[in-house]
């Protein structure tokens, strides 16, 4: 699933590769998908065809492609993007296809579930997308110490570290994927409650949110996700399905996986002891 770093990487790659391309043809909802959601999809061709891509940007785990002066396509996590060269093979299944006048094409396919919305900028009403733009990006200067302390103070103190960091879009784009390495590098167990975190834990978490997300973004996203060209990201995940069962490089204990709050958590029992 796309999270903060991958959205940043995809938006950059889209800016570099499709800006100024003119949309010749749009196909929407080509392959039926129960959990692919659209705005009024019959309007997409009229909104997009004949217009040029202006730019692309990320907010949280969303990617927004701005088309012409007044239209946006915005895509949630759960979407997979692929850019095709002229004459390249278009995958059989996709939920959005943009064909450009120079022969290039962009396809988007929805994995488990995902939203592919296209609206005039003045009509955007998707609350999840709007929420992702309201709060400061974790890598921005507005996400500073005082803001971090306020976030911690205003949340229920019985929330676990996982619930605090990765639910309700408190921190846009920080989901259950990037969470694992942030907690591991900060030495905090996903189940430890906010009230049990020491000052040092809180400081470590603040630092690791910025450093881990920064590294993931600089290195082209995580190695568990793919970019605009179908290539895996360059950031080697420390805790993920790729490393479960191997030994921790810091203390030698075996990386564990458990189910927790409707998802998997990975942790090192040595470096991330659960605090009562």
Closest approach, Cβ 213 to Zn ion, in A, equals 21
For residues 224 and 233, give the distance between their C-alpha atoms in angstroms, rounded to a whole number: 7
For residues 59 and 48, give the distance between their C-alpha atoms in angstroms, rounded to a whole number: 22
For residues 249 and 194, give the distance between their C-alpha atoms in angstroms, rounded to a whole number: 27
Measuring CA to CA, how many Å separate 224 from each of 45, 148, 231, 239? 33, 28, 10, 11
186 binds Zn ion (CB under 5 A): no
Angle between helices 176-186 and 199-218 (to 10 degrees): 130
First to last CA, the chain: 31
Closest approach, Cβ 272 to Zn ion, in A, equals 7
The β-bridge partners of 140 are: none
45 CB burial (10 A radius; 0-12, 13-18, 19+): middle
Q: Which is nearer to Zn ion, 7 or 271 (CB)?
A: 271
Give the per-residue contact string, 197-236, with Zn ion (x = CB under 5 A; - = no). ----------------------------------------
The β-bridge partners of 119 are: 72
For residues 169 and 131, give the distance between their C-alpha atoms in angstroms, rounded to a whole number: 8
- Looking only at residues 240 through 269 of this chain, which bind Zn ion when binding is defined by CB under 5 A? 248, 250-251, 268
Q: In the chain, count H helices and then E strands.
A: 7, 11
> Nearest residue to Zn ion, using CB?
248
Q: Which is nearer to Zn ion, 33 or 185 (CB)?
A: 185
174 binds Zn ion (CB under 5 A): no
Closest approach, Cβ 188 to Zn ion, in A, equals 12
Q: Which is nearer to Zn ion, 47 or 248 (CB)?
A: 248
Closest approach, Cβ 162 to Zn ion, in A, equals 18
Closest approach, Cβ 163 to Zn ion, in A, equals 23
Q: Which is nearer to Zn ion, 239 or 248 (CB)?
A: 248
Q: Which is nearer to Zn ion, 178 or 271 (CB)?
A: 271
Exactly one of 2, 58, 209, 271 binds Zn ion (CB under 5 A); which one?
A: 271
Closest approach, Cβ 250 to Zn ion, in A, equals 4
Q: Which is nearer to Zn ion, 144 or 258 (CB)?
A: 258
For residues 276 and 83, give the distance between their C-alpha atoms in angstroms, rounded to a whole number: 48
Chain residues that interact with Zn ion, rule: CB under 5 A: 248, 250-251, 268, 270-271
């Amino acid at each position: 699933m796309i999270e903060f770093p991958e959205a940043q990487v995809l938006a950059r790659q889209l800016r570099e590769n499709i800006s100024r391309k003119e949309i010749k043809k749009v196909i929407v909802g080509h392959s039926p998908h129960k959990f692919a959601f659209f705005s009024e999809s019959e309007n997409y061709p009229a909104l997009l065809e004949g217009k040029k891509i202006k730019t692309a940007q990320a907010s949280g785990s969303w990617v927004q492609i701005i088309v012409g002066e007044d239209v946006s396509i915005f895509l949630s996590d759960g979407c997979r993007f692929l850019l095709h060269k002229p004459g390249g093979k278009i995958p059989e299944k996709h939920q959005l296809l943009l064909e450009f006048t120079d022969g290039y094409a962009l396809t988007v396919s929805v994995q488990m579930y995902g939203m592919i919305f296209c609206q005039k900028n003045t009509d955007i009403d998707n609350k999840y997308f709007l929420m992702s733009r309201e709060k400061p990006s974790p890598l921005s200067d507005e996400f500073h110490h005082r803001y971090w302390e306020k976030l911690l103070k205003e949340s229920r103190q019985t929330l676990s570290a996982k619930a605090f960091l990765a639910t309700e879009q408190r921190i846009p784009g920080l989901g259950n994927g990037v969470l694992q390495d942030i907690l591991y590098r900060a030495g905090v167990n996903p189940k430890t409650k906010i009230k049990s975190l020491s000052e040092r834990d809180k400081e470590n978490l603040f630092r690791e949110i910025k450093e881990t997300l920064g590294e993931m973004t600089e290195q082209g996203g995580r190695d568990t996700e793919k970019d605009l060209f179908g290539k895996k990201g360059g950031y080697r995940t420390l805790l993920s399905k790729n490393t479960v069962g191997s030994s921790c490089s810091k203390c030698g204990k075996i990386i564990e996986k458990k189910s927790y709050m409707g998802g998997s958590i990975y942790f090192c029992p040595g470096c991330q002891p659960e605090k009562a």
